[in-house]
Structure 1
Amino acid sequence: MASESLSRIVTRRIPFDFPQDVKPHWIPDKPELAHLWNGASMTMPYLEPFLIRTMREALKQVQDPVVHADGEAFISQEGQHYRVHRRFNDQLIASGGYTELAAVEAQMEVFYAKLSTRSLGCRLAFSAGFESMTMGMTRWLIGERCKLFKDADPRVVSFVLWHMVEETEHKTVAFDVYQTLYGNYWQRMFGVLHGSYGVLNFGVRACVLMLKKDGLWKGWRSRWKFFAQGVTAVRHIGPYLLRAMLPWHDPRAERDLEWVREWLARFPADVADGSIPMVDTRDPLMPVPSMTVKSNEVSYGT
C-alpha cells in the first residue's frame, strides 16, 4: 500500500451490477456492435489475470520506486476489471444461453497457460502490446460514444467507458516496466502484434458464436454490419498500433481525450455508498456523469 501511494493511478472499487434484465443486445438495433464488445469482454477474465501475474513477477526486479508503485496500482486496477467482466459475462451467458462459449473459454485457458511458460520479456512485450491497443479502443469507444451507444443500457455503457478510462490512466505502466527491465525494440514491436492478435482473435470467435446462436449470422445484412463494425474498429485502433511499433514510441505522446481527463478529475478515488458514475445514454452529448447513482435506480431504456 505504501508503494501504491507513490503512484497517481487510482484503484476505484465501483460495484457495477448486472441484474437479470441486462440483455446481450444492450445497444438498440445494434446487436453486432453489442456482441463485438461482449466478445471482447469474454477475453478479460483470462487476459487480465495473465497481465497481473506477469506484472507481479516483473516487479520483483524493478528498483525504481515510482515504476514499482505504478505496477502495483496496475495490478489493482486490472484485478477490479476482470472481476467485473466475469460478473457481466456470467449474466451474458445465462441471459443468452450461450453455452457454446465454454469452448472459447477452454481455448483461452490453453493459450494463456502456454503463454505463461514463455520468457518474462516476451510476456511483458505482449502486455505492453495489448495496452497499446487499448488506447485506440478508447479513442473509438469514448470518442464516438454518442454515435455508438445512443439509448443503450446505461449500466453496461458506464461499465465499458469506466474500463476505457482506467486503461488510459495506466497506459504507460506495462511499457515502462518492459523498458526498465529489457528495452529490446524488436521484442517490443512483435509484442504489439502478438498482444493485439491474441486478444482480438478470441474476441471475434466469441462474437461470431453469439451471433450464430442468435440466428443473425445467416443473414448477409448482419454479416455486413459485423464486418463494417470491424473495419471501423481497425480504422480507429490501427494508427495507435502502427505508432506503438515505432522505435521511438512512448505512450505518453498519445493525447488523452478531454472526456477521459474530465472523468478522472471528477472521480479521483473510490465512489462512496456503493454507487456508480452512470452515463446518461439519452443525452445527445453523453457527458461525464456529474453524480453517482445506485445501479438499481437505473434500468434499460430509461
Structure 2
Amino acid sequence: MAADNSIRPELIVRRMPFSFDDDINVKWNPLRPEWSYMVNGASLAMPYLEPYLIRTMRKALPNFTNERLIEEVKKYIGQEAQHYQQHKKFNDVLKASGYEELAVIEEEMARDFELFDRQRSPKFNLAYAAGFESMALALGHWLINNREYLFAGSDTRVASLVLWHFVEEIEHKCAAFDAYEDLYGGYFYRIYGTIFAALHVMKYSRKAYIAMMKKDGHWASFKSRVNLMRYSGGFLFGVAKELIHSFIPWHHPLDIKDPEWSDEWIKEYEESKGDFVYLDTNNLMQPKGGV
C-alpha cells in the first residue's frame, strides 16, 4: 500500500532552551520513583544512540536522489542533534549526583556504536535506525496516551524534555523508514533491525537504571522491585501493542495516525513563536505551558 504523502508532516528543527539546575532530583517523579529511574536509564543512552543515528543518515545522504527525502533526512538530523544535546544536559546533572558507575556503561555504549560504524554494513546501520524509529514511534504513542499516569505531579523540566522528545519522534516517523526503503528495502531485514535496535537500547537503559537503583539502595527493596516490574510490564505491553503495526509487511509510518495531543503541542509551540517549553504537570490534558 502506497503511503499518503499528503498527510506527511513538515519537520521543524526546534532549538529548545531547556535548563537543568543542580536541584533536579534523580527521583523527579516523587509518586513513581521507579519510573523516574527507568526514564533516567533511557536518557543516558541518548547521547550515544542519537549521534550514531545521525552518522548513519549522513553517510546515506549522498545516495538519495529524491529531493523530498533529502530535505527530510537533513531536518531529521537537526532534530536528533537537539535531542541528544538536551538529554546530555540532563544526564550531566544526574551524574554529578554521584553515579560514577554510569561511566562504565557509557564506555560500553560508545564502543558498541563505534563498532557498528566500523564493522557493520550500511544496510545494517540503516535498518537499525529505521528499527529504532519504529520503536520510538510506538513509545511516543504510549507515553502520550499514558502521560497523566506517568508524569502527573512530576518535575516539569523532565516531563517536558521527555514528552517534547517523543512529540518530535512522532513527527519525524517517516525519515529513517523511508531512507532504508529507498536504498535497500527488504521486509525481513527491517524486522531484524527493529528487534535488534529495541533489545540493544533496552539492554543499556536497564543496565543504567539498575546501577542507579543499587547506588541509592532501591534495588534491594521488595516494594521497589515490584513497582519496577509493574512499570516495566506496562511499558513492554504498551509499546508492543503500538509496535505491532510495523511488523505488517505493507506497513508505512504514515498509516499510523498521530495522537491529537502531539498535534496540539506542535500547534501551541507555533502559536507561542517558540516561547512555550515547559508543561503543567498538574494538568496534562492539554499541552499548555506551565512555567
Do both share a fold (TM > 0.5)? Answer: yes
Runs of 4+ more than 4 Å apart: 269-272
AA in 2 matched with 1:116 = D
CA offset digits 1:202-223 (Å, max 9, x no partner): 0011011111111001111111
1:42 is matched with which residue? 44
**Worse-matched range after superposition: 21-30 or 60-69:** 21-30
Between Structure 1 and Structure 2, how many residues are aligned?
Answer: 283
Q: Is the 8 A contact 2:142 2:242 kept in 1?
A: no
Partner of 2:177: 175
Deviation of 1:240 after TM superposition, in Å, equals 3.1
Q: Report the Cα distance in structure 1 between the residues aligned to 2:84 and 2:267, rounded to whole angstroms.
A: 23
Whole-Å separation in 2 of the counterparts to 1:29 and 1:99: 26
Q: Following the alignment from structure 1 to structure 2, what is the Cα–Cα distance between the partners of residues 89 and 156?
A: 11
Q: What letter is aligned with 2:18?
A: F
Distance 1:277 1:114 in 2: 36
State the TM-score, normalizing by the size of structure 1.
0.90
Query: Which residue of structure 1 lines up, in the alignment, with residue 96 of structure 2?
Result: 94
2: CA distance between counterparts of 1:218 and 1:252?
Answer: 44
The residue correspondences of 1:64-83 to structure 2 (distance < 5 A) are 64-83=66-85
Stretch deviating more after TM superposition (243-252 or 228-237):
243-252
Partner of 2:3: none
The CA distance in 1 between the partners of 2:128 and 2:272, in whole Å, is 30
1:126 corresponds in structure 2 to 128
Matches within 5 A, 1:1-302: 8-95=10-97, 97-117=98-118, 118-268=120-270, 271-272=273-274, 275-283=275-283, 285-289=284-288, 291=289, 298=291
Contact 2:61 2:73 in 1 (8 A): yes
Note the aligned Cα RMSD (angstroms): 1.7
Percent of matched pairs sharing the same residue:
40
Does the Cα contact within 8 Å between 2:27 and 2:33 map onto a contact in 1?
yes
State the Cα distance separating 1:271 from its structure 2 match: 4.8
Q: Contact conserved, 1:279 with 1:286, CA < 8 A, in 2? A: no
Q: Deviations over 1:74-130 (max 9, x none)?
A: 0000000000011100001112x1110001101101110111121111101000100
Separation (CA, whole Å) in 1 of partners of 2:273 and 2:93? 24
SS for the counterpart of 1:247 is: coil
**CA distance in 1 between partners of 2:262 and 2:270 (Å):** 12
Displacement of 1:152 in angstroms is 0.4
Report the Cα offset of residue 40 of structure 1.
0.4
Distance 1:270 1:143 in 2: 24
* One-letter amino acid of the counterpart of residue 280, structure 1: D
1:70 and 1:173 in contact (8 A); partners too = yes
1:3 matched residue in structure 2: none
Moved more, 41-50 or 254-263: 254-263
Q: Please report the TM-score for the alignment, with normalisation by the length of structure 2.
A: 0.93
Deviates more, 1:170-179 or 1:239-248: 239-248
